[in-house]
Amino acid sequence: MTCELEHVSPYQLLVATILSAQCTDRRVNMVTPALFARYPDVASLAVARLEELESLIQSTGFYHNKARNLLGMANGVVDKHGGEVPDSMEALTALPGVGRKTANVLLGTAFGKNVGVVVDTHVARISGLLGLTEATDPVKIERDLMACLPRAEWTDFSHMLIHHGRNICVARTPRCGECPLYALCPGHRPRPGEAVTARIARPRARREPNGETPRGRA
């Protein structure tokens, strides 16, 4: 399973991942060809005019912030790393617009380094459904997943869950009938014709200090 963001270099993947925030990969892939034709490397992006950059990425949403982050990232790479995208978590997350999730995408996909697990909305939701974590904070979810997966599988696992969330375990209309993980998923919906056993929660009886159950009131 591979990253769905189209790229041919760490620079392109970093830009595409920043643009993918609150945006589909499909939309990003529609925008980046013209963007990379205009700014083929970090050096050219670092001297881009803000207004021109915004016009090229406008359809990805939140384009004002994304444009500023792209300029800040490019200037940081030029000034601190000689124009070469760094390959460490510490250096990447020090760049504007680059959080741990983005850094994990870049390290795992572009550099082949399994430093962590990418936790986006799909990974967070499905790992919870599968009972792999009870956390809701991305950092804690990542920690739980790292503990239960072999390090060599961290990057591929992220890609697989993201792909699964987009195509099968869709948040609003999950296609449980087609899911290969159905038998393993505690959070699945019943398939057509499948018997459902309703669980009725019964309140626990309150006990007095002497251990006896109090009688109901008349």
Q: Distance between CA atoms of 205 and 213, rounded to whole angstroms? A: 7
Torsion of CA 140, 141, 142, 144, to 10 degrees: 90
CA distances to 58, 60, 171 from 24, rounded to whole Å, are 13, 8, 15
**Annotated catalytic residue 101:** yes
Closest CA to 189 of 173, 200, 201: 173
CA 50 to chain centroid: 27
Contacts of 200 (CB under 8 A, 6+ apart): none
**Catalytic residue selected from 79, 101, 137, 156:** 101
Angle between helical axes of 25-38 and 50-57 (0-180°, round to 10): 140
Lookup: tokens for 9: 């270099």
Residue 171 one-letter amino acid = A
Q: Distance between CA atoms of 113 and 136, rounded to whole angstroms? A: 25
* In the block, residue with structure tokens 């850094």: 103
**Catalytic residue selected from 25, 41, 87, 120:** 120
Catalytic residue annotation: 101, 120
